[in-house]
């Protein structure tokens, strides 16, 4: 396995990779990203990630010169070159290179980066025993500023502050509310609860990233005959739930066993949570293969 970076057509080792000093994401956070998993030499949910990315480019007015099929082909080629069976892809697209807030000052086409690396947020022990979570003091941005469904690099500054707050409290994650006090998401994960056999998760209108893993879990649960409700939720709903878990590309599916030092249900990973984890792990066997492209 090699950790590689493809940047605007040039491939280098990760430790030697460079981006322009005046890249608009470097200067202003003006960029989009996708985190994508590799399982068994297959890229998981690649088309879904690319569709979200290209909508974000359209929304933000980026003048992409690489179309979606070509970027998909390039990602698979870089994965093949890296030779990694299980790993993590970080895909960045920024407005381009130029000093100044005015997009007219950006003279180049968007900068595109494909990083092939590895990422593990939590130890296996945490997947077995579950996460303790706190409610952070940081709120998600309201849609009147920037819709949270955009995976914009700049918006993660306050998510990092919320994560730091959770770290200081000794918690595995931090729950973020919206400005009305309703549950939105955690610093890097979507949240689900189970009550009386019904799977509930905040509706996208509540200010959360509509995660690819989130959507995958919803589809898997419905296919398994589980009732799923996208809803408005408060901390009360979480604390009175029978079970809870978090989802995300980096976190995958991980049990949540407490909020603000108060146990959820039995304070241990529940049976439906374990079932969802099993369904998700089975689903990760599917994906877009790239190993065959090594000889292309």
- 58 annotated active-site: no
CB neighbourhood size of 294 (10 A): 12
Closest CA to 191 of 286, 87, 124, 276: 276
The phi and psi torsions of 125 (rounded to 5 degrees) equal -60, -40
Catalytic residue among 151, 219, 222, 275: 151
Q: Which long-range contacts (CB under 8 A, 24 or more apart) does 117-124 make?
A: 117/3, 117/14, 117/87, 117/88, 117/89, 117/90, 118/3, 118/84, 118/86, 118/87, 118/88, 119/35, 119/87, 119/88, 119/250, 121/188, 121/250, 121/251, 122/172, 122/251, 122/254
Contact residues for 147 (Cβ-Cβ < 8 A; gap 6+)? none
Alpha-carbon separation of residue 122 from 77, 162, 178 (angstroms): 29, 17, 26
* DSSP H helices in the chain: 24-28, 46-60, 68-82, 124-129, 157-168, 212-223, 235-239, 271-283
Contact residues for 103 (Cβ-Cβ < 8 A; gap 6+)? 61, 95
Residue written as tokens 């502050």?
161
Catalytic residues: 151
């Amino acid at each position: 396995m090699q950790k590689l970076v493809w940047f605007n057509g040039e491939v280098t080792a990760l430790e030697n990779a460079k981006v322009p000093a005046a890249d608009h994401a470097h200067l202003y956070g003006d960029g989009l990203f996708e985190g994508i998993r590799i399982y068994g030499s297959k890229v998981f949910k690649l088309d879904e990630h690319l569709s979200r990315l290209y909508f974000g480019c359209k929304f933000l007015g980026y003048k992409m010169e690489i179309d979606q099929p070509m970027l998909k082909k390039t990602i698979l080629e870089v994965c093949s070159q890296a030779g990694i069976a299980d790993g993590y892809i970080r895909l960045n697209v920024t407005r381009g290179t130029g000093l100044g807030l005015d997009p007219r000052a950006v003279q180049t086409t968007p900068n595109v980066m494909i990083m092939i690396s590895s990422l593990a947020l939590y130890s296996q022990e945490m997947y077995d025993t579950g996460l303790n979570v706190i409610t952070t003091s940081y709120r998600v941005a309201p849609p009147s500023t920037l819709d949270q469904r955009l995976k914009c690099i700049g918006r993660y500054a306050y998510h990092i502050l919320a994560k730091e707050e959770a770290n200081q409290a000794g918690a595995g994650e931090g729950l973020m509310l919206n400005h009305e006090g309703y549950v939105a998401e955690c610093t890097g994960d979507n949240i689900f609860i189970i009550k009386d056999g019904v799977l509930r998760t905040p509706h996208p209108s509540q200010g959360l990233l509509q995660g690819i893993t989130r959507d995958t879990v919803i589809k898997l649960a419905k296919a398994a005959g589980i009732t799923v409700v996208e809803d408005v939720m408060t901390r009360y709903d979480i604390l009175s739930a029978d079970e809870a878990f978090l989802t995300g590309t980096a976190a995958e599916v991980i049990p949540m066993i407490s909020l603000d030092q108060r146990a959820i249900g039995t304070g241990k990973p529940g049976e439906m949570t374990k079932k969802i984890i099993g369904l998700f792990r089975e689903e990760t066997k599917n994906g877009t293969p790239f190993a065959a492209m090594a000889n292309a």
